Amino acid sequence: MKTQTLGFIGAGNMAGSLIGGLISDGYPAENIVVSDVDTAKLKDLATRFGVQTFENNRSVVDRSQTVILAVKPQILESVAREIAAAVQEGRPLIISIAAGVRETALDRWLGGNASIVRCMPNTPALVKTGATALHANDRTSPAQKSLAEAILRAVGVAVWVEREELLDAVTALSGSGPAYFFLLMEAMEDAATELGLDKTTARLLTQQTALGAARIAIESDEGPAELRRRVTSPGGTTEKAIEVFEGGSLRRLVLEAIKAANARAAELSKQLGE
């Protein structure tokens, strides 16, 4: 993997996070090239990581065996059509982290018969704790799939889904998921301040509790239901709070919310691919 040149089209936060993670894992900076229309972003990446930068996307594709498309979904079509000739000549692996754009649409814009891996990372990738799902089209080799997984694992966990449409469910779960936890944290802070705690204390305790619960869940072999039972003493304070959550149909609300996000992800994918 480390002998390949990786090309990034787009020098935004996600590209910077991936580049930082790769270099932290020992990937040579001289084997990473980046392009963007924003010269300030290019200068920042060159200064921070020592990567080679270009203002022309074709220059990146011509030098790369793998190209990571790290641009906004709304401009992906124009970028793909711009580099299509170079992709047809060099046949690099294309990794798209643009949310919502189907593989068939991207392949069409690139001129056809491209090896494509589509990824759905989430914002915690910016702090190396991301959760990413991947799907590859049928022209992607096992070696290319392994490479794509290694790149995304540089910023967190990476898992494969069997069908591309399942990326809509991933978007609804882990893509939008951080906002769900932030909403709960916000509500917990507000409740704590209503009970008399100052805002700073309420926020710190909420943040550390969220971090601790996630850490226990990650390091435990048990599922969340069992972990919840272990901290819910019969007749205790936690049991009373859980009873209120369950009585208010929390599970139903979560299901409806994630279904709504899934439906919207599918709708946006259709629109972006037209």
Q: Give the domain CATH number at 148.
A: 3.40.50.720
Would you say residue 224 has pLDDT above 70? yes
Would you say residue 59 has pLDDT above 70? yes
Domain that holds residue 10: 6-167
Grade residue 272 by pLDDT with cuts at 50, 70 and 90.
Answer: confident
We report the CATH number of the domain holding residue 244 as 1.10.3730.10
- Shared domain check, 131 and 30: yes
Average predicted confidence (pLDDT) for the chain: 95
Domain-ending residue, one of 167, 185, 216: 167
Grade residue 3 by pLDDT with cuts at 50, 70 and 90.
Answer: confident
- Shared domain check, 204 and 143: no
- Shared domain check, 209 and 149: no
Grade residue 2 by pLDDT with cuts at 50, 70 and 90.
Answer: low
Q: How much is the pLDDT for 270?
A: 84
Q: Tally the domains of the chain.
A: 2
Distance CA(171)–CA(178), nearest Å, equals 11
In a domain, 180, yes or no: yes
Write out the H or E segment, with its range, that includes residue 33.
Answer: strand 32-35
Q: How much is the pLDDT for 125?
A: 92
Query: How many CA atoms lie less than 13 Å away from 129 in the CB half-sphere?
Result: 7
Percentage of the chain modeled with pLDDT above 70: 99
244-254 average pLDDT score: 96
Grade residue 1 by pLDDT with cuts at 50, 70 and 90.
Answer: low
Which residues have a Cβ under 8 Å from the Cβ of 52 and sit 6 or more positions away? 30, 32, 33, 34, 46
In a domain, 45, yes or no: yes
* pLDDT tens for each residue of 110-167: 999 999 999 999 999 999 999 999 999 999 999 999 999 999 999 999 999 999 999 9
Greater model confidence, 99 or 273: 99
**Ramachandran quadrant class, 120 (left: phi over 0; alpha: psi -120 to 50; beta: rest):** beta
Distance CA(243)–CA(234), nearest Å, equals 11
Q: How much is the pLDDT for 85?
A: 97
Contact between residue 120 and residue 133 where contact means Cβ atoms under 8 Å apart = yes
Q: How much is the pLDDT for 264?
A: 93
Domain-ending residue, one of 134, 167, 200: 167
Would you say residue 271 has pLDDT above 90? no
Helix axes 142-153, 13-24, angle to 10 degrees: 100
Domain-ending residue, one of 141, 167, 193: 167
In a domain, 1, yes or no: no
